[in-house]
């Protein structure tokens, strides 16, 4: 699915950088910053698929802002099939069971990482940085992994934890390495 979006909006990709803000704009979606929703959620796709509501505090940290926008865009994509057709008259994307919500939440998170960090580009860049890590980072496998995530943070303009999750998704690093080096508390 990510490949379909990336092919359709290839003009919005520049090397490893996927301009999710421009893709969202091209789709006629407007991000709406709101104060105080962070206590409940980082952002959400309301019933109207033309909007994404995001806590305004994330605008100060673009790597997180971009990731939240991408995830909510993927909710719209998955729940409304926005890119392919009009909404069916009987569609009710926000009416679902808790189990259905958990499934679509996981799918949206995975798809957003695939969209922001295309597989071939990500794997190629990870390998280059892993193999060319500075001498002081080569002595420890953990330091080498952290180094790769931090370098890729600048290239993909996303925060290192999200980079680590994508490496885990692609089986470049293991679940244990992801937990040990990046976070055993946060699971996406």
Q: What is the CATH number of the domain that holds 20?
A: 1.10.10
Report in angstroms the alpha-carbon separations of 5 from 18, 49, 74, 79: 11, 17, 10, 15
Is the pLDDT reported for residue 50 higher than 80?
yes
Give the span between the Cα atoms of 70 and 175, in whole angstroms: 23
Mean pLDDT of the chain: 85
Binned at pLDDT 50, 70 and 90, residue 187 comes out as very low
Is the pLDDT reported for residue 152 higher than 50?
yes
Binned at pLDDT 50, 70 and 90, residue 36 comes out as confident
Q: Which two tokens stand for residue 135?
A: 């001498």
CA 38 to chain centre: 18
Please give the residue that has the higher pLDDT: either 46 or 14: 14
Asked if the structure places residue 98 within a domain, the reply is yes
pLDDT at 33: 87
Q: Which two tokens stand for residue 9?
A: 């909006």
pLDDT at 77: 85
pLDDT at 15: 86
Regarding whether 123 and 65 lie in a shared domain, the answer is no
Regarding whether 112 and 42 lie in a shared domain, the answer is yes
Q: For 85-144, write each residue's pLDDT tens digit.
A: 554 565 555 566 778 778 888 999 999 999 999 999 999 999 999 999 898 888 888 899
Binned at pLDDT 50, 70 and 90, residue 42 comes out as confident
Give the span between the Cα atoms of 180 and 164, in whole angstroms: 11
Give the span between the Cα atoms of 170 and 16, in whole angstroms: 16
Q: What is the mean pLDDT of residues 8-21?
A: 92
Q: Please give the tally of structural domains in the chain.
A: 2
Range from 51-55, 84-88, 142-146, 151-155 carrying the lowest mean pLDDT: 84-88
Regarding whether 58 and 30 lie in a shared domain, the answer is yes
Can you give the residue range of the structural domain that contains 81?
2-116
**Residue percentage of the chain with pLDDT more than 90:** 48
């Amino acid at each position: 699915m990510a490949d379909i979006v990336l092919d359709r909006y290839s003009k919005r990709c520049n090397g490893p950088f996927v301009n999710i803000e421009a893709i969202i704009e091209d789709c006629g979606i407007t991000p709406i910053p709101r104060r105080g929703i962070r206590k409940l959620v980082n952002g959400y796709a309301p019933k109207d698929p033309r909007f994404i509501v995001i806590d305004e505090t994330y605008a100060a940290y673009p790597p997180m802002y971009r990731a939240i926008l991408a995830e909510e865009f993927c909710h719209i994509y998955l729940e409304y099939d926005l890119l392919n057709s009009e909404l069916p008259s009987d569609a009710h994307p926000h009416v679902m069971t808790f189990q259905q919500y958990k499934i679509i939440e996981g799918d949206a998170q995975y798809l957003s990482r695939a969209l922001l960090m295309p597989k071939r580009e990500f794997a190629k860049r990870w390998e280059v940085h892993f193999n060319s890590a500075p001498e002081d980072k080569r002595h420890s496998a953990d330091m080498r992994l952290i180094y790769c995530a931090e370098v890729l943070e600048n290239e993909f303009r996303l925060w290192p934890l999200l980079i680590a999750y994508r490496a885990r998704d692609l089986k470049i690093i293991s679940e244990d390495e992801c937990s040990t080096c990046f976070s055993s508390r946060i699971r996406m």
